[in-house]
Each structure stands twice: as structure tokens, then as C-alpha cells.
Amino acid sequence: MPKGGKKGGHKGRMRTYTSPEEIDAQMKEEKEKQHEQEGQDEGAAQKDTTEEKLPGSGSEESDDEDSQRRRAGVEGLIEIENPNRVAQKAKKVTQIELDEPRQLSRREREEIEKAKAKERYMKMHLAGKTDQAKADLARLAIIRKQRDDAAKKKEQEKKAKEAAAAATRGINSLSLK
């Protein structure tokens, strides 16, 4: 059998529930107290501005209520100004872009400089102005010369073979006659 017995209550106490009417009455009392405190703090000038608000601006009023709920206990009574606390101000994306040009981080600047340097080097390399390009061109010239020599040598060998073949044909044709 479970610890609480058949009834299941905690140590024999009965549970009490508040009715919805009591909850509504408590909420109304809290709102009245808040309005009284706001009236004392704000003064008559700010009451006029709240009356000018549009009837559809309920979200602004709910923000005020939330801020009052957050300030529980002593915080609601004493206004403390912390000089080290920086208030977070939300900016729209359009404002951020228009206010000032975006400052690049060190890594981003280095990447851009690296890409530009690589592009400059490739242009100079294609123009044949870098040391590596000069070495490559000299190597290519040597290779071309070697290939030309090899091609001439093959042609000479081919002509020599044809001449030898023609000579052997000539001897064979003479001997047959």
C-alpha cells in the first residue's frame, strides 16, 4: 500500500482550493494598488500622456505591469543607479547598417589582404615578372629545345632508315634484273 494511505493526502491535511471569484478579487486589488502607486509617482503631467494613448495600445500597458511585477520587494521602493550597468538598447538592422560602416575584425582584414596579395602575385606570375615565373619559363625553354632536338634527331633517323631501305631495294632490284 502507498505511503499516504488510501486517501493520498500529505500527512493527513486537507487540500484547500481558491475559487475563481477570489482570484479575480485579488487581481483587482493588486491593480488598484499599482494604479495608486503610479499616480503618486508619475504626477498629473504623465497621466495626460497616458490618456492620449490609442485604445489599441494594450501591449504597452502590459509591459508596465510586467516591469512592476519584476520589481518585487525592496527593488520597487528604491531606485538604484548602477554606473557599471549598461542598458541594452535594441537596434534595428536598417539603423545599424546606415549609422556607420561596419568595422572589419582582424581576421577578416587579414583574409582580404591575403586574397588581394594572392591575386597580385598571380597577375605578376602570368606576366612573367616573378622569380618563380622566370624559372618556369627558363625550364620550359630548355624542355622545348630538347624536344626540338629530339624531333630533328628522329627525322634524321627516319630519313636514314628510308635511305637505307631505298638502297637495299635498289640493290635487290638490280640483282633481280
pLDDT at 99 over 60: no
Local structure of 2: helix, strand or coil: coil
What does the longest C-alpha to C-alpha distance in the chain come to? Answer: 142
What kind and span of H or E run contains 7?
A: none
Do residues 142 and 149 make contact, with C-beta atoms less than 8 angstroms apart?
no
Whether 164 has a pLDDT exceeding 80, the answer reads yes
pLDDT tens across 43-66, in order?
644 544 544 444 444 445 555 555
Residue with cell 605578376: 124
Say what the alpha-carbon torsion angle 71, 77, 79, 82 is, to the nearest 10 degrees.
-60
pTM metric for this prediction:
0.33
- What residue segments make up the domains of the chain, in order of their start? 110-176
Mean pLDDT along residues 141-167: 94
Exposure letters 26-60 (e unless 16+ CB within 10 A, then b) = eeeeeeeeeeeeeeeeeeeeeeeeeeeeeeeeeee
